[in-house]
Structure 1
Amino acid sequence: MVTITSLYAAPLAVIFLALSFRVIAFRRGNRVSLGDADNPDLRQRVRGQANFVEYAPFGLILLALVELQGAPALALHALGLMLLVGRLLHAICFWQHPMPFKLRTWGMLLTTGMIGLTAVGLFLHALI
């Protein structure tokens, strides 16, 4: 059972839907079915959604694996919060012009930090 992972998967899914609806709304409003029509606003929206898809699922898979290995709840919540806050900060950046790079940096540090810590923990647990 991956109850704690589920607590983080649900709000991450909501963030994904918000990013997706921003792309869909722009495409419908501007009649763009494929690509970015060389529009910087659409390009930023698409990259925000794509970046989320590139990192969030992998982070959730790792979190679920850590939970299945029996990690303490406190560790799971720390990792889950790193992923959630990291992805949220990063998503917020793609909503703004100009993009606040300090928030984006923190978002990526939290996300990649979570993935790195989780990977090391899983590897060490597998060795021991």
Structure 2
Amino acid sequence: MKNIETNKYFAIMSEKDDVELMRIITVERADYQADAVIAAEEELERREISPSMYQDFTEEVEKLIKVEIEKKVEKQHLPLSTWVKVMAFIFPFPLFFIIGLVLILFDYQIRGKELCKWIFFGWVFYFTLLVIMKIFL
């Protein structure tokens, strides 16, 4: 059974390019099963790529991953522009609420939550205005 499984990994690894194989055996090693990593190492050996060639690559990939994580965190904390808050308050359309939820789904946490909050404030404002008009008119 194990032979069939490793053969499957050999076939998969033979289709990957050198960079992907290097990532698999270095930075992403923990994300793969042991047999897949072995297959990737053997494929690199077959291509005559030595471990010393990808040690520098590992450091570069780790730096790039760190930069990507920093960008993602930065993206999550971007505030919503004041003019968008005003527009959401004045025109609290349900479509804007859906856009706010989509922003949250795409990791714009602060922007999405603020958009939904200002739309909610707009709805409360107009509802209160209607109630006041009903009472006094």
Same fold (TM over 0.5): no
Smaller-chain TM-score bracket: under 0.3
Q: Higher relative CO (CA 8 A, sep ≥ 6), structure 1 or 2?
A: 1
| TM-score scaled by length of structure 1 | 0.27
| TM-score scaled by length of structure 2 | 0.26
Which protein shows a greater Rg? 2
